[in-house]
Every structure is written in structure tokens, then in C-alpha cells.
């Protein structure tokens, strides 16, 4: 081998060695960069793990607080899963509905609740409760909130009774006057009946007058007793359309006799009211008769209905002179009346009936433009009743 060949080989070897050194240096730098990146990722992972641990601990603490809160709540909380079974219940719910509540079908549990008035209230085990329901969109279940309103209901009943008794005590003098006037009149007519020389037509006239005053006394006493007792409504299923039709049928002859038009507006559809047919009909007729009494011949009494979701508004309107503002503020007060022979209890009783059914009565009027009374009540459908059953 010549010297030149050996020199070329040495040069090639040197170049290869240089390339190896360069690649080795680059690999060393890449490894160092990789180590730095691994360390950075390790640090980031440690921070992320620490944050996750902190969030987990916070959620654990929150879950514990929520658990303690649910256990301490006086209201019952029931969780119903997508299949309709009770999956969770707090101690208050188990105390109301039974310790074996979890795992049972909610429909069977709800079947033990006895509906009472007003609507959306139920009785179970001597308690009076109300239910509120919220959907769990993510899980497909429901949360049922059960309030024990036994004490509140008893306090409300006692308060209403005390208010009625207080009102009767304050108005005892007025009531005595109202009783004395027709009684004295009836006695006077009765005394005339004892005259031996009284003509037959006069005797018949005096007898009718005495009977009229006695009937007035009877109505007055009935109103007083009804107001003092308060309305005890039942659980009748009353089609709203039938209730309005019966009221219109009763009023049409009276309106025709006075030359007043009875006009009906709106449709009740399939709406129903759960409660007492007799007290509701009485309250509605009271408003209609009041409207008729203030109308002149040629006037109009309106009976309208408007169903808005789960509520209904029954409107009674007249074309009378209207109600002054100062009287509107007192019109529902017991014994307040502007009529010569009124007891002042009709509107107070009607308002009590509406409230007992979960609603109320409002009045609006402008001078010379008549008055409108609106009964607002909760309504449902037959399907709602069947579902509750």
C-alpha cells in the first residue's frame, strides 16, 4: 500500500470520526433537552396532581357539608331515579314516609298521600305536607321536596278563626241593630194580624210582609253562622264549564225579569276545580246577584272565564255606577255594606271560599264604568286527577 493510499484512508477515517463526534454531540444536546422537557412535564404533572387533590378535598368537604345539611333539614328530600324508584332520602323524609323508603317505587309512596284542600297539599300519618318537584336533567330522575306544614296550617286556621271572631266582636252592635230592625217590623205586622176587624186582603198583605222580614232574619243568621264557621271544602271534582253553566242558568231568569242582558265570554274547556261545589257556586252567584242589583234595565252582566295554564280567572262584570275607591278598600271587610238591607257578609264569605280553594278575589272599578270582580283559582284536568290517584 502506498503512502498516498494510507493518507486517504486516514483522512476518511478522520472525517468519519468528525461526523461521529458531531452526531454524538447533537445526540447529547437532544438528550439534555429531552431531560429538561421531562423535568418540566414532571413539574407540571405534580402541580396538576396537587390541584386535582385540592379540588377533590374541597369536593369531599362540600359533599360532607351537604350531607350534614340534608340530615339537618326539617324538610324531607327524596331523590327518585330515572326508573321511578327512591334512591336517596334524608332523615326527615324517612320520618314522614317510613324508614324503608329507599328502594321503593315513588308512585307507590305517593299513593299513600291523601289529597286535601287547598290543592297541592296532602295528609299522611297525622301530618299535613306539601310537595315540590324538580327534574334532574343529567341523571333523568327527580328531587321531591316535602314540607311538613302541619304547624303552619294549624296556626293559619287559628288565625283565621280569631280574625272572624274579632270581626264579629267588633261588629256585634251593628249586627244587633240589623237583627232588631226586621224583628221589630215582623212583630208589628204580626200584631196587626191579631185585629179581629182586619180585612182579608190586608191580613194576607200583613202576613206576607211578616214572612218577608222573617226570611230576611233567617238569611242574616245563616250568613253570620257561615262566616263564623268558615268554609270547609271537600274534594269534589267539579268541571268548570258545568259550574259556570249552572250559574248562568240560575241567573238568566232573574236578569230577564229586570231587563238586563247576561253575557258569557270565554270557554272553560276541560278544566276542573277540586273542592266544594256548593260553596263555589254560592260565591259565584253572590257576585252575579250583586252585579244584577246595580244594573239598570238595558244593562249587562258579564260572566267570563279565562284559563291560563294551571290557573283560571272567572270574571263578573256589570254596567252599574261603579265602586268608589274608598269603598273598594273595604268591600271585602265583614259587615261592610252599602245596601239598605245587606248583611255585609256576602263578599267576605266569597273571599273566604276562594282562599280555601287556593285562590282569591280582586275588584277593579271606575266611576260610571261599572265594576269587575275576578276570582282567581287553581285548575287542572281529569288527567291530572287520575295521575295523582
Q: What is the pLDDT of residue 383?
A: 54
Spans of all domains in the chain: 1-69, 73-148, 151-230, 234-389
Mean pLDDT on 62-89: 80
CATH architecture of 151-230: Orthogonal Bundle (1.10)
Render pLDDT for 251-290 as a digit per residue (tens, 0 to 9). Answer: 999 999 999 999 999 998 889 998 888 889 888 998 999 9
pLDDT at 343 over 70: no
pLDDT at 4 over 80: no
Q: What is the pLDDT of residue 240?
A: 92
Class of the CATH domain delimited by 234-389: alpha beta
Q: What is the pLDDT of residue 389?
A: 46
Contact at 8 Å (CB) between 303 and 294? no
Q: Quick one: 230 exposed, middle or buried, by C-beta within 10 A (0-12, 13-18, 19+)?
A: middle
How does strand 272-275 pair with strand 261-265? unpaired
Mean pLDDT on 373-387: 74
Mean pLDDT on 214-219: 75
Structural Rg of the chain based on CA atoms? 41
User: Greater confidence, 348 or 296?
Assistant: 296
Render pLDDT for 306-342 as a digit per residue (tens, 0 to 9). Answer: 998 889 999 999 999 988 888 888 888 776 676 656 6
Q: What is the pLDDT of residue 1?
A: 55
pLDDT at 387 over 60: no
Per-residue b or e along 36-55, where b marks 16 or more CB atoms closer than 10 Å to that residue's CB: eeeeeeeeeeeeeeeeeeee
pLDDT at 224 over 70: no
Beta bridge partners of 314: 305, 375
Contact at 8 Å (CB) between 96 and 148? yes
**CA dihedral sign of residues 253, 362, 348, 314:** positive
Determine which of 14-23, 197-206, 223-232, 349-358 has the lowest per-residue pLDDT on average: 223-232
Q: What is the pLDDT of residue 255?
A: 93
Q: What's the mean pLDDT when you consider all of the chain? A: 82
Mean pLDDT on 297-306: 94
Whether domain 73-148 has CATH 3.30.450.20: the reply is yes
Q: What is the pLDDT of residue 376?
A: 94
Q: What count of other Cβ atoms lies within 10 Å of the Cβ of residue 290?
A: 21
- Split at pLDDT 50, 70, 90, the class of 377 is very high
pLDDT-above-90 percentage for the chain: 19
According to the per-residue pLDDT averaged within each range, which of 10-14, 149-153, 300-304 is highest? 300-304
Mean pLDDT on 132-147: 83
Q: Going by C-beta distance under 8 Å and a sequence separation of 6 or more, which residues neighbour residue 86?
A: 78, 79, 80, 101, 102, 103, 104, 105, 106, 109
Beta strands in the chain (DSSP E): 76-80, 86-89, 114-116, 121-124, 127-136, 141-148, 236-239, 261-265, 272-275, 300-308, 311-318, 360-365, 371-378
pLDDT at 228 over 70: no
Q: What is the pLDDT of residue 142?
A: 87
According to the per-residue pLDDT averaged within each range, which of 118-122, 151-155, 257-261, 277-281 is highest? 257-261
Amino acid at each position: 500500500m502506498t503512502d498516498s493510499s494510507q493518507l486517504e484512508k486516514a483522512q476518511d477515517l478522520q472525517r468519519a470520526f468528525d461526523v461521529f463526534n458531531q452526531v454524538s454531540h447533537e445526540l447529547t444536546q437532544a438528550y439534555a433537552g429531552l431531560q429538561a422537557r421531562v423535568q418540566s412535564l414532571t413539574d407540571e404533572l405534580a402541580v396538576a396532581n396537587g390541584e386535582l387533590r385540592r379540588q377533590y378535598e374541597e369536593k369531599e368537604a362540600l359533599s360532607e357539608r351537604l350531607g350534614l345539611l340534608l340530615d339537618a333539614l326539617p324538610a324531607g328530600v327524596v331523590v327518585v331515579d330515572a326508573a321511578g324508584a327512591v334512591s336517596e332520602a334524608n332523615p326527615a323524609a324517612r320520618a314522614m314516609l317510613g324508614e324503608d323508603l329507599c328502594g321503593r317505587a315513588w308512585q307507590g309512596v305517593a299513593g299513600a298521600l291523601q289529597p286535601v284542600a287547598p290543592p297541592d297539599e296532602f295528609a299522611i300519618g297525622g301530618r299535613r305536607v306539601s310537595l315540590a318537584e324538580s327534574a334532574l336533567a343529567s341523571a333523568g330522575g327527580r328531587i321531591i321536596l316535602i314540607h311538613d306544614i302541619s304547624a303552619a296550617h294549624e296556626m293559619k286556621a287559628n288565625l283565621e278563626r280569631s280574625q272572624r271572631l274579632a270581626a264579629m266582636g267588633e261588629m256585634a252592635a251593628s249586627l244587633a241593630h240589623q237583627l232588631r230592625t226586621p224583628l221589630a217590623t215582623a212583630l208589628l205586622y204580626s200584631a196587626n194580624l191579631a185585629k179581629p176587624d182586619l180585612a182579608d186582603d190586608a191580613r194576607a198583605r200583613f202576613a206576607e210582609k211578616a214572612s218577608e222580614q222573617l226570611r230576611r232574619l233567617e238569611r242574616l243568621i245563616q250568613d253570620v253562622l257561615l262566616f263564623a264557621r268558615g268554609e270547609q271544602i271537600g274534594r269534589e271534582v267539579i268541571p268548570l264549564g258545568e259550574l259556570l253553566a249552572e250559574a248562568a242558568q240560575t241567573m238568566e231568569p232573574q236578569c230577564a225579569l229586570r231587563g238586563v242582558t247576561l253575557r258569557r265570554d270565554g270557554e272553560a274547556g276541560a278544566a276542573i276545580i277540586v273542592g266544594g261545589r256548593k260553596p263555589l257556586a254560592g260565591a259565584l252567584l253572590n257576585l252575579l246577584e250583586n252585579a244584577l242589583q246595580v244594573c239598570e234595565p238595558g244593562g249587562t252582566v258579564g260572566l267570563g272565564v279565562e284559563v291560563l295554564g294551571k290557573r283560571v280567572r272567572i270574571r263578573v262584570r256589570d254596567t252599574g255606577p261603579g265602586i268608589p275607591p274608598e269603598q273598594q278598600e273595604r268591600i271585602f271587610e265583614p259587615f261592610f255594606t252599602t245596601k239598605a238591607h245587606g248583611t255585609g257578609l256576602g263578599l267576605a264569605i266569597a273571599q273566604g271560599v276562594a282562599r280555601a280553594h287556593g285562590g282569591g278575589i280582586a275588584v277593579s272599578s271606575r266611576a260610571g264604568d261599572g265594576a269587575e270582580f275576578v276570582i282567581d283559582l287553581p285548575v287542572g284536568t281529569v288527567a291530572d286527577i287520575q295521575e295523582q290517584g
